[in-house]
Amino acid sequence: MFYGAQYYRPPFPDPSVWKRDINHMKELGFNCVKHWVMWNWIEREEGKFDFSELDELVRLSKEAGLAVIINTIPEGAPYWVYKGHENSLYRLADGQTVEPGGPANIPSGGWPGLCMDDPEFAALAARFIEETARHFKDEEAVKVIDVWNEPHLEPMYDYRSNMLCYCEHSKREFIKWLREKYKTLEGLNKAWFRAYTDWDQVGPPVRFGTWADMNDWRMFWLYNLERWMRIRVNAARKGAPGKKIQTHVAYSGILGNRIVGGLANELGDEFLLAKEVDYFGLSSFPKWLMGEENAYRHLIHSEMIAAAAHGKLFYQVELQGGGGKPGLLGGEVPDAADVRIWNWNTVAAGGKGSVYWQYAPEPAGIESPGFGLTGFRGEDTQRSLAAGEMARNLNHPRLDRAVPVPARNAIYVSRKSDVLCFSSERREEMYAGSLSGVYRAAYENGIAVRFLHEDYVEELLDGTVDYLYLPMAIVLSEKEVTIMRRFVEEGGTLVSEACPGLYREDGAVDFESRALGELFGLDHKEIQAAPEWGEITAEWKNVPWARGTFTGRFYRQLVIPKEECRILAQFPDGEPAVVLRNLGRGQAVWIGMYPSYQYEHRPCGTEDEATTKLLIHWMHKSGYSVIRRIVMPDLYRGKITLAPYVRLLQTEEEYILCAVNHMPHEAELIVELEGEKRKKYVLKLLAANGIFCRWRKESFSDNT
């Protein structure tokens, strides 16, 4: 497991304090340290690499007994690379180019480098990574080489309202991608509804209008960044074949820090990027970027990144250590309780440790004076002491071996639906909010859920999923529909919001409404928007387990149910609002609006029993086959709603139950296990803290 801190980002800290600080990390209980390798600091003259400062830092780290993570930063490019490559500057849709400079996180400047679609620049960046890896290939203290710090289309965090890159190299790569996808110009014309007569007439869209071209432009960039990642990984593997290679994302692009999305805007797709590396990680600055709900939001991001890692080791590669930004002198400072909760969230999600950004406060630049775990003179703070406590408590061989038990309840993640929300009118926030709402309903009711991405849709048939929720799944392929139908026929429960598969993969409407008919036994009539895209209500009808009015948002879909369908709820005008269809050994439930988004954005601290019932009724009651149910205490309902939660990990020999309390007061959970004796355990949780319980698998039925 990795517990430690980011330390060196040239030219800081001053060499005079290196030994003091590194030794104190070991005293705190840390076992690793991360150092940045800045390209423009290492190769100031072309072909001349100077690793002397890093060699000294690695020596000191090794002497202190700390493993070293090397983080290569080609985004801080040497200034000599720019000469003669002006046509490789990142270019925005409005024609503006991004000149080199010093951003918040690169004091030595040279940011953002050139577009890696320029093969000459890509080769130079790859050479830097390869040389760095080769330099440390025989150094046993260096355990991991991180080849891309927070991968995304680099300038986009500073230019979110614009789009890029429109340089000549990216345009050329886009045309190449289109040729591979559509084979002929006629194929492209059919997909884009165009009348091109030559490939030279084709280019990327610079504005929003038709959806097909924008959809392809965004999808191209997601796969193009995966290709860029492969260039970096291959370079590191060539230089140091025996080292583990990793990357870490700034946040889940699908969710966005404040649940507003970012997949098709900033263009960092965690599910594609994770496929290329050995280890996968997450950056989190919860107090700075996630608001008052940071305990909850950090958890959902951690579990999304765990899903993207897909069984690979993942951990918190950067975790907020100090005040952060915005503000002239920084933002809110985390306290010891924050540090504890964020660590518990990571471990509960299956993560293997936390590395803080960063150990020491920055002395200059936009990130000064915040972020540091310690004080100005290297003295401990409540944050550094809490970080050390968590490192000592959680760096345990059992937790190192443990992996998450897959929850029986899954939330479907659709890259295609997310991108279409962006391509239509930059409405990724609708998709992200819908993902979070059903997750939140489960969280507040003691039910474990997980994310199942479209790339792994076949896992629906492996017997580990009982319940699948489709939030705003407006694009579904024939393959997905076929697999989902089989999932239901074999006994699964499928619950979908309005308009499942309304659009085909090419961004055009599916007038056959295949998903709606094959899965739910419905024919489409019409889509109707609510006034100002506000609330939509419906009422339960003739069901013994629910009553009253529940709410959704944006639109309602009107349908014609077939004979085998049962109407469970109606809109005020009598149109079907919830329809259940028995299919084989399972059931498919259609909801004619978007209740999950509404639940995510309901008034703070309020309850909505009828909508809650809609979202969780068909879920497995605990989320785990070995746990019958979890009895929750009264939740904290202030400006935000906070809850305790349970996640189950396992080794070959035992189950490890992780219970975490997000609430600012003590909580009591009752966990009732399955089995003949149905033993109940009362777990008493301190405020903002967690505990572990363990059971031997071989004696599980006796609970010994």
- Which domain CATH number covers 679? 2.60.40
Within-domain flag for 337: yes
Q: Contact, 403 vs 45, CB < 8 A? A: no
As a whole number, mean pLDDT of residues 89-96 equals 96
Distances (CA, A) of 627 to 11, 494, 649, 650: 52, 22, 12, 14
CA–CA–CA angle 148, 153, 157 (5° rounding): 105
pLDDT at position 601 is: 92
Within-domain flag for 389: yes
Structure-model confidence comparison of residues 546 and 58, the more confident one: 58
d(CA 374, CA 20): 12
Within-domain flag for 621: no
Q: Compute the mean pLDDT over every residue in the chain, rounded to the nearest whole number.
A: 95
Tokens of 657: 């139950």
d(CA 68, CA 55): 11
Together in a domain, 256 and 336: yes
Within-domain flag for 474: yes
Together in a domain, 55 and 183: yes
d(CA 72, CA 162): 27
Domain boundary among 592, 616, 640: 616
Predicted confidence (pLDDT) per residue in 484-497, tens digit: 999 999 999 999 99
- Which domain CATH number covers 551? 3.40.50.880
What 3-state class would DSSP assign to 182? Answer: helix
Burial label, 95 (beta-carbon count in 10 A; 0-12, 13-18, 19+): exposed
Together in a domain, 413 and 394: no
- Does residue 704 carry a pLDDT above 60? no
Together in a domain, 612 and 634: no
Together in a domain, 429 and 482: yes
Instruction: Provide CB contacts within 8 A for 320, sequence distance 6+.
Output: 284, 285, 286, 287, 288, 334, 342, 356, 357, 371
Within-domain flag for 101: yes
pLDDT at position 438 is: 98
DSSP calls for 479-509:
HHHHHHHHHHHTT-EEEE-SSTT-B-TTSSB
Q: Contact, 349 vs 299, CB < 8 A? A: yes
- Does residue 699 carry a pLDDT above 80? no
Together in a domain, 294 and 171: yes
- pTM check: above 0.95: yes
Name the residue among 1, 20, 21, 655 with its Cα closest to residue 392: 1
667: left (phi over 0), alpha (psi -120 to 50) or beta: beta
- Does residue 244 carry a pLDDT above 60? yes
pLDDT at position 364 is: 87
pLDDT at position 494 is: 98
Q: Contact, 243 vs 136, CB < 8 A? A: yes
Predicted confidence (pLDDT) per residue in 600-621, tens digit: 998 877 788 999 999 999 999 9
Distances (CA, A) of 549 to 407, 539, 589, 592, 609: 30, 4, 18, 14, 9
As a whole number, mean pLDDT of residues 140-163 equals 96
Q: Where are the alpha helices (DSSP H) in 524-602?
A: 595-600
Predicted confidence (pLDDT) per residue in 369-411, tens digit: 989 999 999 999 999 999 999 999 999 999 999 999 999 999 9
Within-domain flag for 602: yes
As a whole number, mean pLDDT of residues 443-448 equals 97
Q: How confident is residue 702, by pLDDT bands cut at 50, 70 and 90?
A: very low
Report the domain count for the chain. Answer: 3
Together in a domain, 417 and 460: yes
Domain boundary among 616, 637, 668: 616
Predicted confidence (pLDDT) per residue in 11-54, tens digit: 999 999 999 999 999 999 999 999 999 999 999 999 999 999 99
As a whole number, mean pLDDT of residues 154-180 equals 96
Together in a domain, 591 and 634: no
pLDDT at position 607 is: 81
Angle at which helix 336-348 crosses helix 382-394, to 10 degrees, equals 30
As a whole number, mean pLDDT of residues 529-536 equals 94
Phi, psi of 306, deg, nearest 5: -60, -40
Percent of the chain scoring above 70 in pLDDT: 99
Q: Which helix (H) or strand (E) holds 18?
A: helix 18-28
- Does residue 700 carry a pLDDT above 70? no
Together in a domain, 424 and 495: yes
pLDDT at position 120 is: 97
Instruction: Centre a 10 Å sphere on the Cβ of residue 18 and count the other Cβ atoms it contains.
Output: 18
- Which domain CATH number covers 194? 3.20.20.80
Name the residue among 18, 34, 38, 20 with its Cα closest to residue 67: 34
**Can you give the residue range of the structural domain that contains 681?**
627-702
Together in a domain, 530 and 571: yes
Name the residue among 124, 433, 103 with its Cα closest to residue 256: 433
Instruction: Centre a 10 Å sphere on the Cβ of residue 210 and count the other Cβ atoms it contains.
Output: 14
Together in a domain, 643 and 536: no
Within-domain flag for 483: yes
Q: How confident is residue 540, by pLDDT bands cut at 50, 70 and 90?
A: very high
As a whole number, mean pLDDT of residues 193-212 equals 95
d(CA 658, CA 152): 33
Within-domain flag for 87: yes
Q: Contact, 181 vs 220, CB < 8 A? A: no
Q: Contact, 324 vs 316, CB < 8 A? A: no
Domain boundary among 381, 402, 423: 402
Together in a domain, 205 and 156: yes
Predicted confidence (pLDDT) per residue in 633-678, tens digit: 999 998 899 999 999 999 999 999 999 999 999 999 999 998 766 7
As a whole number, mean pLDDT of residues 343-355 equals 98
Predicted confidence (pLDDT) per residue in 621-635, tens digit: 999 999 999 999 999
